[in-house]
Amino acid sequence: MARRQKNQSEKKRRELTRAELLHLWMVSGGICTFEGCNKRLVANTDGKLTNVGIIAHIIGHKGPRYEFAQQYGFTDDTLEDVRNLMLMCYDHSKLIDDDHTKEQFPPDKLFGMKANHEAWVRSWTDEKRKSLAIVHKRLGPPMATIPQLEQTPNIILQAVENQDEFNDFSPEGWAEGKDDNKKLYKKFVECIKKGEYEVAEVFALSPIPLLIHLGILLSDTIPFTIYQYERDSELWVSKLPEGQMLEPINPSMQLSVGNSKQLVVAIAISGVITQEDVENIASEADRLIINIENPHVKRILYRDQVKEVQKIFKEKTEELIRRNGYKKIHLLYSGPAGLAIELGRSINPNMWPEVLIYQFNYRTEPRYSFALSV
């Protein structure tokens, strides 16, 4: 029986503790417990992620199936025990209690659903860790739910998010975007400090400069998995699916070093960054160009490929900083969102000079314009 407003004369029900609420979410996997329903119980309301799960009673308070309470060992004081509770979507919580359908759901059937669902969740969560999701989607409409990831080694329990569409590409807009990132990061840190999460998972589809800046903010306090959106399948991916072969990307570098105290780093993954693009930024600066074989928009999706490019960027740039003592680095990037965050995580503000990050727009001249610096 779903929780509902009680009458004045009804005995006050015991409130569930935080540990009990967390237990219900854990054993259900955040998915409706009703047999055959795989609905995720986190949804989007006006761009904000919200809990839409309903805590339903198998043996209700003076309601559906209450006549079976004694038979199943419950009293009025123990009906709030978690063994009598199921986490459900709204539709199924109503279905099991409705006067026209409740007879189809005797206690045995509901206890069986609960047991089978929780056993199924245990089968894929025994080795899983508690995860906090970061949703940074500022291009296009917001996501309606946190993605369901069959291959993830973690259980997503909560999300911090910014899904307000970004469309102000003025200096003031970029400054506000940085402030928004800092606010999101503050929420993330507050959640982490509670000590409930072992890992974090990032879902990002936003303007590249904001993602690089977000990557700089994210620390190594806990391990991260960064997902990338695969448009054809409409799935978020990180690890290469079993049975598939990883296509070699064969990264290469072109280095031009003189006496400049500025360095342009151009990373071309999704498309070509031309000499003209670089010249328009800083014609006299030293240059580090990182390319891959056959660049295109679907070229790097999986974690091993991302790490390969990130390693080259971090190690070679830091080597050049130590050797030449640059005062400024200009970063031009054409590539997927997940790698942008990892590039940001490679930048140590205490060890690197000022980094200027540029936004790409094919229709403007020049194609790369300054967005923000860190």
Q: Average pLDDT for residues 106-135, to the nearest whole number?
A: 82
Q: By mean pLDDT, which of 106-120, 233-247, 302-316 is the weakest?
A: 233-247
DSSP 295-308: --TTS--SHHHHHH
How much is the pTM? 0.69
pLDDT for 10 beyond 60? no
pLDDT for 149 beyond 60? no
Distance CA 304, CA 339 (A): 11
Q: Best-predicted range by mean pLDDT among 21-35, 198-212, 295-309?
A: 198-212
Confidence label for 289 from pLDDT (cuts 50, 70 and 90) = very high
The encoded tokens of residue 84 equal 């009598």
Distance CA 270, CA 272 (A): 7
Question: Taking all residues of the chain, what is their mean pLDDT, rounded to a whole number?
Answer: 86
What pLDDT score does 113 carry?
Answer: 92
pLDDT for 140 beyond 60? yes
pLDDT for 23 beyond 50? yes
Summarize pLDDT for 61-83 with one digit per residue, the tens: 888 999 999 888 888 888 899 99
